Amino acid sequence: MCTIVVLFILGVVPSICKGQHDNTCDVFPKDRYIEMGSSIKIVCQTSCVNSNVFWTLNSRPIDESLSNTINSTQTVLSLSNFIHHSAVLQCHSADTQQILGGTTIRTYSKPRRISCILDYVNQDVDGMPQALTCSWEHQADPSLTINYTVWCASSLHSSPSELCNSHETICISKHIHILSNFSVMVRAKTSEWEAYSDSYEFQPYHILKIIRPKLAVTAFYDHLLVVWNRSLGSKKCHCQVKYNKDLPPDEGSQEWVLNKTLNPMEKGKISIEKVDSCINYKISVRCALDQAPWSSWSKEKKVLTKLNKSHVSISLWRKVTELDQSRVRRVHVMWTDIPSTCQGTFKYIIKQMPYKEDMNSVNDTLCGNSTCDVDVDQDAQRLILRVFHDEILLAEDSVYVPAIGESLPQVTDIQTSTYEGVILVSWKAPIQPVSGYMVDWTHSGNQIYWKETNYTNATLSDLLDKKPYNITVTPLLGDKTGHGMQAFHICSRAGDPGKVDIISVNVYDKSAYVSWDINSAEECSGVVINYTVVYGTLLNVTVDSKKQDVFLKDLNPETQYRVYVEARALTGITRSTERFFTTKKFDPRLITALSVCGSIFIFLVLSLGLCCTVQWKKFKEKPVPNPGLSSVALWLLPSHQKGRCPFHDSSASPCDQIYTEETQRASTPPPDADCGGNPTTDQTEEYTDSVLILAPHIKGEIPVEPLSSPEESTALFSTDSSPFNPYRSQSSVEVSSPRSSKQSKPIQVKQQGKATLKTVYVTLDMFEQGQSR
């Protein structure tokens, strides 16, 4: 503190004296380092202003009570317990707010919390400690280069001696010999400041770190015996024994620590109980004098425990197949394997014992380490497993194989659920009382796991991820077993949905049809809840899991779109690869529809034209009789054909009823008889409503003679119309019906009056049709 006052007087007073003669303003002292928590006074020279001043610390106003005006040109700021690492002080004019001057004040701290340890350089040689290691805490600007010096003073040396130097907060001094209490002080020095720590006093045995112990470990059937030697046996000390199983790093290993206090002249010895059989353990020991730091851990010892017979649990179980064609069942027998690290020779023998007392036993079967297959018949069997260690019986267990059709209880209503890779199984107990249940499960059928429980539920852990398991629950009935109930394909955990593949994208002008498929490469893929089709920038459509196609509507023509499909399940989301498509300018379906309609219209037009052409051709080629080769005859109208004999041949040609001129001139024959053979009565009656026809001459037939009497003809066709008219003038005549025995006789009716004849043409095809009939 005196040093600070002296510096203040030497630095501030001359400046003040000089400033009285200068019309300047400034702040003194400039850029000082002070110890953290100390006090400082800052002077503001105000010769350049005639007003009051105020101070700011890091731009924040300071309480005016800390400032004192000495005279019209000087104002002093007094700060106590200054704890800022770095701060900017400024003096301001109260009237103009002008900064009259400023300075930066930085702080430093002294080293504290010094601790020292006496240690041995050579951990294998006992004796006097050869090294003193001291460390401390110091808060300082890391940009500064600080030199630390450790000073030591003891009752044997009146003046402090320098032990070591360092730029870090730790310093090691070797080859020293300290037998009594001593004190330590640390100096921190830079180019700007220098600080000394407080003095710390130490007692040698309280800071002595003894050499690490030497130990030996012996393995027994039920424990491990650890023995060690320690230094300074005449002193009381505390020891710790640390041990853990030697397991792979990924499995992890729990660590145990045993404490032991040794009195003077007592040797270190401790027994580690409850160790597992045939397991490698790692063991180490450390010790410390009373109130002293711990020694280093001893060299680690690794030891293999021996096989403890009480720890051997075979846990025998079996899986029975169905009866084959040779009436044999195969039983897969399983048991808990004895660790391969166990020393000695092991032998496994299975003996088959028929459950019926009157049946003889089957020969023994020598098996491997943990599984064995034996054949049994349809009867109940008891399989006995015996394990020998170095030819000495180590353990024995048996399992029951029920007979075919044996009435035994069975569990019902197996329920399963999964949670984070663990399968939870529950079931309903049978009506009969049971002693427990055996639960076995397998993924591939090759490796089977099993566990026994007394409850109607079980938790299956350590399963393969996303794999299906077949689970069987079998009730236990004392020395018997019931029938198993199975649950198939229970996944340890459902994975993401399968891979989504876009199958096709059919593009139109304002829409697109997208279809996809999902393929699951994993056996336990998650069940798809819905699909989301994402297209464009922010457009999407969601459909349920039953649909695997969708129409994208309201698209812009001639626009490129990006599309992909997301399959969503409770366990995750899978996404297809992206597809790009560009919409059409016009709808292809409209073009197709127009093309089809046009094709149909053209086909109809062509068909109609072809039909018309054929009909016109037929009309043009229709034969017309030559009038020069024709004759006039009478043809009865249908109304006069009612009286025809029912025995008349209906297939006869209509021309059979045509009567020419010659037949009309023939003499009147005798009266005809009716169909019953009776003669007709009305002989004077004549035919009416007859038709005058122009009959052509058919090739191969006798031509019909034309009418030649002038009195019998009329002008049927006008001869004045053309000088070359081939039709001659003909007239009809009343004629009697011919009486030919070869022709059918039409029924005669009384003539009501003179009838007018009707003229028609008979074409050749009419005769052809008649002949065809």
Predicted confidence at residue 759, as pLDDT, reads 52
Over residues 713-722, the pLDDT tens digits come to 444 444 444 4
Instruction: Say what percent of the chain tops pLDDT 90.
Output: 40
Predicted confidence at residue 714, as pLDDT, reads 40
Report the CATH fold assignment for 499-588: Immunoglobulin-like (2.60.40)
Distance CA 382, CA 400 (A): 5
Predicted confidence at residue 24, as pLDDT, reads 84
Cis-peptide, bond into residue 669, ω within 30° of zero = no
CA quadruple 659, 663, 668, 669: dihedral sign: negative
Could you give the 3-state DSSP secondary structure of residue 242? Answer: strand
452 φ/ψ angles, rounded to the nearest 5 degrees: -105, 140
DSSP 276-302: PTT-EEEEEEEEEETTSPPPPPPPPEE
DSSP 409-441: -B-EEEEEEEETTEEEEEEEPPSS--SEEEEEE
DSSP 90-116: EEEETTT--EEEEEEEEEE---EEEEE
In this model, does residue 266 exceed pLDDT 60? Answer: yes
Predicted confidence at residue 676, as pLDDT, reads 45
DSSP one-letter code for 208: B
* Beta carbons within 10 angstroms of residue 650's beta carbon: 8
Predicted confidence at residue 72, as pLDDT, reads 80
- Which residues does 450 contact at the CB level (< 8 Å), separation at least 6? 315, 317, 334, 438, 439, 440, 441
Predicted confidence at residue 526, as pLDDT, reads 83
DSSP 326-363: TS-EEEEEE-PPPPTTS-S-EEEEEEEEESSTTSPPPP
| Mean pLDDT value across residues 45-62 | 89
User: For the chain, how big is the Rg over CA atoms in Å?
Assistant: 65
Q: Where do runs of H (alpha helix) occur along 459-587?
A: none
Min mean pLDDT across 206-210, 364-368, 434-438, 759-763 is at: 759-763
Question: How far from each other are the two terminal CA atoms of the chain, in whole angstroms?
Answer: 156
Min mean pLDDT across 79-83, 173-177, 647-651 is at: 647-651
Provide the pLDDT confidence category of residue 766 given band limits of 50, 70 and 90. low
Over residues 677-698, the pLDDT tens digits come to 444 444 434 444 444 444 454 4
SS (H, E, C) 562-590: EEEEEEEECCEEEECCCEEEECCCCCHHH
Burial class (CB in 10 A: 0-12, 13-18, 19+), 762: buried
CB 482 within 8 Å of CB 430: yes
Homologous superfamily (CATH) for 312-402: Immunoglobulins (2.60.40.10)
Min mean pLDDT across 203-217, 367-381, 500-514, 576-590 is at: 576-590
CB 717 within 8 Å of CB 725: yes
Min mean pLDDT across 49-58, 495-504, 517-526, 742-751 is at: 742-751
Provide the pLDDT confidence category of residue 625 given band limits of 50, 70 and 90. low
Predicted confidence at residue 117, as pLDDT, reads 93
Provide the pLDDT confidence category of residue 614 given band limits of 50, 70 and 90. confident
* Beta carbons within 10 angstroms of residue 549's beta carbon: 15
Taking CB atoms within 8 Å and a gap of at least 24, the contacts of 410-416 are 410/475, 410/482, 410/483, 410/484, 410/485, 411/437, 411/456, 411/473, 411/474, 411/475, 411/482, 411/485, 412/485, 414/471, 414/473, 414/485, 414/486, 414/487, 416/471, 416/487, 416/490
CB 279 within 8 Å of CB 304: yes
DSSP 211-240: PPPEEEEEE-SSEEEEEEE-S-TTS-EEEE
In this model, does residue 733 exceed pLDDT 90? Answer: no
In this model, does residue 166 exceed pLDDT 70? Answer: yes
Per the prediction, the chain carries an average pLDDT of 79
- Tell which wins on pLDDT, 61 or 719: 61
Distances (CA, A) of 459 to 315, 415, 440, 495: 18, 12, 11, 20
| Mean pLDDT value across residues 377-406 | 91
Provide the pLDDT confidence category of residue 628 given band limits of 50, 70 and 90. low
In this model, does residue 389 exceed pLDDT 70? Answer: yes
What six digits make up the tokens of 593?
Answer: 């529809």
Distance CA 472, CA 440 (A): 5
- Tell which wins on pLDDT, 90 or 769: 90
Query: Which among 29, 38, 132 has a CA at the least distance from the CA of 83?
Result: 38
In this model, does residue 115 exceed pLDDT 90? Answer: yes
Domain 112-206 top-level CATH class: mainly beta
What six digits make up the tokens of 177?
Answer: 């010999």
- Tell which wins on pLDDT, 626 or 240: 240
| Mean pLDDT value across residues 392-420 | 91
In this model, does residue 728 exceed pLDDT 50? Answer: no
Find the helix or strand (DSSP H, E) in which 601 lies.
helix 588-620
Burial class (CB in 10 A: 0-12, 13-18, 19+), 190: middle
Query: Which among 8, 13, 99, 92 has a CA at the least distance from the CA of 53?
Result: 92
| Mean pLDDT value across residues 623-642 | 55
Nearest-5° angle of CA 528, CA 531, CA 537? 150
| Mean pLDDT value across residues 646-651 | 43
CB 278 within 8 Å of CB 303: no
CB 573 within 8 Å of CB 498: no
Predicted confidence at residue 496, as pLDDT, reads 84
Predicted confidence at residue 595, as pLDDT, reads 81
| Mean pLDDT value across residues 85-108 | 91
CATH number of 214-309: 2.60.40.10
Over residues 479-499, the pLDDT tens digits come to 889 999 999 999 988 888 888
Could you give the 3-state DSSP secondary structure of residue 604? Answer: helix
Is the domain 26-108 a CATH 2.60.40.10 member?
A: yes
Predicted confidence at residue 773, as pLDDT, reads 44
What six digits make up the tokens of 387?
Answer: 């394990």
CA quadruple 178, 184, 188, 193: dihedral sign: negative
Predicted confidence at residue 565, as pLDDT, reads 93
Over residues 65-92, the pLDDT tens digits come to 898 888 888 899 999 999 898 899 999 9
Judging by DSSP bridges, how do beta strands 758-761 and 690-696 pair with one another? Answer: parallel
In this model, does residue 670 exceed pLDDT 80? Answer: no
CB 576 within 8 Å of CB 563: no
| Mean pLDDT value across residues 390-410 | 91
In this model, does residue 145 exceed pLDDT 50? Answer: yes
768 φ/ψ angles, rounded to the nearest 5 degrees: -65, -40
Domain 407-493 top-level CATH class: mainly beta
Start-end of CATH 2.60.40.10 domains in the chain: 26-108, 112-206, 214-309, 312-402, 407-493, 499-588
Find the helix or strand (DSSP H, E) in which 472 lies.
strand 468-477
Predicted confidence at residue 654, as pLDDT, reads 44
* Beta carbons within 10 angstroms of residue 263's beta carbon: 9
Predicted confidence at residue 633, as pLDDT, reads 57
In this model, does residue 470 exceed pLDDT 50? Answer: yes
**765 dihedral zone (left: phi>0; alpha: psi -120 to 50; beta):** alpha
Query: What residues does 431 pair with on adjacent strands?
Result: none
Predicted confidence at residue 361, as pLDDT, reads 62
Rounded to whole angstroms, the maximal C-alpha distance in the chain is 195
Distance CA 736, CA 734 (A): 7
In this model, does residue 209 exceed pLDDT 90? Answer: yes
| Mean pLDDT value across residues 390-418 | 91
CB 563 within 8 Å of CB 514: yes
- Tell which wins on pLDDT, 163 or 226: 226
- Tell which wins on pLDDT, 702 or 505: 505
